[in-house]
């Protein structure tokens, strides 16, 4: 009965959004309440689940998304994105631009959480799309596939690090295995798969659309790159510094290295280097930031809605019930880990929640079967990328920013996530046979 309720809930969500054109946030809210009641959550607890779901997902994302939107809007409005796009095309050439963006996404994605990397790199994608009139999905998906894979497979991202600790795996070995598996997965899900998407015509968000600017009025090349990539450099630095300092200095590093704090510092820097320092007025600068917040408001609400649905799934205990049922299957632990994680991901939407939930269920199996814990971490990581659909905040970020229909988002984003997930599992199995 539980499985039927989940299927009907997901189907209802898709029908409300796609057929009846109900706002995605309202659809999430209504379906989540109905699903919670059907799964046995007490009526007086439903609103608590709603509030907890919104707070849980927005507490960590709001500052990053809003500040990232402000930074991206300023990078676009100041002409810095135009300058960066020109340099990228000159280095890689328009013919190989997708590969250049893929490499950029992979390098940036290692130290950055997915949400941070997304809002930092989308302006670069759109600046190239608008300037050279290239299809947005065709150009942008390879970079985002790299971000997604690093998020699922590679430390220091939250779920791989937590799973390494849980399974008593080796961080260095897991990192090396993760890099080996990530490269083919990114290539297949990014540049190779995106060739089939060149015909998708979206309406990319105008948030980061650069205005035509006199070349001599653009910020300098060094200024543009340093300001736009400052959060990347800062987070890499603050990832390394904890191994080099201790005591009070370590507390300062943890404070300044928090992603939200890094974004605040980045925005302060950009306000001068791309705004006031370029002769722009404070009024102009604040108008840019105001427009950025207006443009991102609905995206924030949709992500909040996906958080509500995820919380209802957790509070009802559905994830653990499903995992326990699947654990009785007689299949290899690595494949079983991938299946359990993938099914939980399909139910709760969050890759991190799916990975950590599966890890807790599978810990006794890892111990009793003698399975390589490093490969188990990566099998779970691969499974956590599978079945990305309407309850995943990443699905809605991609849909709204790239201006796609739900159908085209399934066709591009969801299929890409499935490809990198299956490719990841294939890589894990290959390493299992070779080691």
Residue ranges per structural domain of the chain: 2-198+216-434
User: H helices of 136-258, where?
Assistant: 136-153, 158-166, 171-187, 193-194, 221-240, 248-257
Q: Tell me: the pLDDT tens digits for 247-261?
A: 999 999 999 988 889
Looking up tokens 């890094």 gives: 262
pTM of the model: 0.74
Cβ atoms within 10 Å, residue 195: 10
Angle at 429 between CA 382 and CA 178, to 5 degrees: 50
Q: Which two tokens stand for residue 227?
A: 């300001």
Instruction: Check if the beta carbon of residue 46 is closer than 8 Å to that of residue 67.
Output: no
Q: What is the distance between the alpha carbons of residues 195 and 198, in angstroms, rounded to a whole number?
A: 6
Q: What is the distance between the alpha carbons of residues 198 and 244, in angstroms, rounded to a whole number?
A: 47
Q: Identify which of 128, 289, 134, 250 has the alpha carbon closest to the alpha carbon of residue 197.
A: 134
What pLDDT score does 17 carry?
80
Q: What is the distance between the alpha carbons of residues 313 and 114, in angstroms, rounded to a whole number?
A: 23
DSSP 291-321: HHHHHHHHHHHHHHHHHHHHHHHHHTTHHHH
Q: What is the distance between the alpha carbons of residues 288 and 292, in angstroms, rounded to a whole number?
A: 6
Instruction: Check if the beta carbon of residue 178 is closer than 8 Å to that of residue 382.
Output: no
Q: Tell me: the pLDDT tens digits for 141-181?
A: 999 999 999 988 888 787 888 888 888 888 888 988 999 99
Q: Is 226 exposed, middle or buried (0-12, 13-18, 19+ CB in 10 A)?
A: middle
Alpha-carbon distance values, 90 to 76, 123, 128, 230 (Å):
19, 18, 12, 22
Instruction: Check if the beta carbon of residue 126 is closer than 8 Å to that of residue 209.
Output: yes
For the range 399-403, what are the long-range contacts, defined as Cβ-Cβ under 8 Å and sequence gap of 24 or more? 400/205, 400/298, 400/299, 400/302, 401/122, 401/204, 401/205, 401/207, 401/299, 402/136, 402/137, 402/140, 402/202, 402/204, 402/205, 403/136, 403/202, 403/203, 403/204, 403/205
What pLDDT score does 366 carry?
79
As averages over each run of 10 residues, the pLDDT of the chain (435 residues) reads: 84 81 88 93 93 84 85 86 76 85 85 76 81 86 93 83 86 89 96 92 65 67 89 82 90 90 93 95 95 85 83 81 68 90 85 82 77 94 93 87 91 96 97 91
What pLDDT score does 209 carry?
61
Tell me, what DSSP letter sits at residue 83?
A: H
Contacts of 71 (CB under 8 A, 6+ apart): 119, 120, 228, 231, 263, 266, 267, 270
Q: What is the distance between the alpha carbons of residues 297 and 69, in angstroms, rounded to a whole number?
A: 10
Longest dimension (CA), the chain: 68
Q: Is 247 exposed, middle or buried (0-12, 13-18, 19+ CB in 10 A)?
A: exposed
Burial 201-211 (b: 16+ CB within 10 A, else e): ebebbebbbbe
Rg (C-alpha) for the chain, rounded Å, is 22
Contacts of 124 (CB under 8 A, 6+ apart): 81, 84, 85, 88, 101, 104, 228
Tell how far CA 416 is from the center of its chain.
13
Instruction: Check if the beta carbon of residue 375 is closer than 8 Å to that of residue 433.
Output: no
Q: Identify which of 299, 292, 313 has the alpha carbon closest to the alpha carbon of residue 396.
A: 299
For 65, what's the count of Cα atoms within 13 Å in the CB-facing half-sphere? Answer: 23
């Amino acid at each position: 009965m539980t499985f039927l309720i989940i299927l009907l809930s997901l189907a209802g969500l898709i029908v409300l959004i796609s057929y009846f054109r109900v706002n995605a946030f309202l659809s999430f809210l209504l379906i989540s309440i109905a699903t919670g009641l059907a799964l046995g959550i007490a009526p007086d607890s439903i609103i608590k689940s709603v509030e907890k779901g919104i707070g849980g997902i927005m507490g960590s994302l709001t500052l990053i998304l809003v500040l990232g939107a402000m930074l991206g809007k300023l990078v676009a409005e100041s002409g810095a994105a135009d300058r960066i796009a020109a340099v990228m095309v000159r280095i890689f050439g328009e013919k190989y631009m997708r590969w250049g963006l893929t490499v950029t996404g992979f390098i940036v994605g290692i130290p950055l959480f997915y949400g941070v990397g997304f809002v930092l790199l989308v302006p670069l994608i759109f600046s190239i799309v608008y300037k050279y009139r290239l299809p947005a999905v065709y150009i942008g998906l390879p970079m985002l596939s790299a971000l997604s894979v690093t998020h699922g497979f590679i430390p220091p991202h939250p779920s791989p690090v937590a799973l390494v600790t849980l399974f008593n795996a080796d961080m260095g070995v897991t990192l090396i295995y993760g890099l080996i598996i990530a490269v083919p997965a990114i290539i297949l899900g990014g540049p190779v798969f995106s060739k089939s998407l060149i015909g998708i015509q979206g309406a990319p968000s105008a948030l980061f659309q650069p205005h035509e600017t006199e070349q001599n009025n653009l910020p300098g090349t060094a200024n543009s790159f340093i300001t736009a990539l400052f959060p990347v450099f800062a987070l890499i630095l603050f990832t390394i510094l904890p191994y080099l300092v201790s005591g009070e200095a370590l507390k300062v590093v943890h404070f300044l290295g928090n992603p939200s704090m890094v974004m605040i510092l980045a925005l302060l820097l950009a306000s001068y280097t791309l705004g006031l320092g370029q002769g722009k007025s404070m009024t102009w600068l604040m108008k840019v930031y105001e427009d950025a917040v207006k443009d991102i408001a609905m995206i924030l609400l949709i992500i909040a809605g996906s958080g509500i649905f995820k919380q209802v799934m957790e509070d009802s205990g559905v994830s653990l019930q499903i995992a326990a049922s699947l654990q009785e299957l007689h299949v290899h632990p690595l494949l079983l880990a991938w299946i359990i994680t993938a099914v939980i991901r399909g139910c709760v939407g969050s890759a991190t929640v799916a990975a950590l939930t599966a890890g807790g269920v599978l810990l006794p199996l890892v111990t009793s079967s003698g399975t390589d814990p490093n490969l188990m971490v990566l099998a779970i990581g691969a499974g956590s990328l599978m079945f990305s659909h309407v309850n995943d905040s990443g699905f809605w970020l991609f849909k709204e920013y790239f201006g796609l229909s739900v159908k085209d988002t399934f066709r591009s984003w969801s299929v890409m996530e499935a490809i990198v997930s299956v490719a990841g599992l294939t890589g894990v199995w290959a390493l299992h046979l070779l080691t």
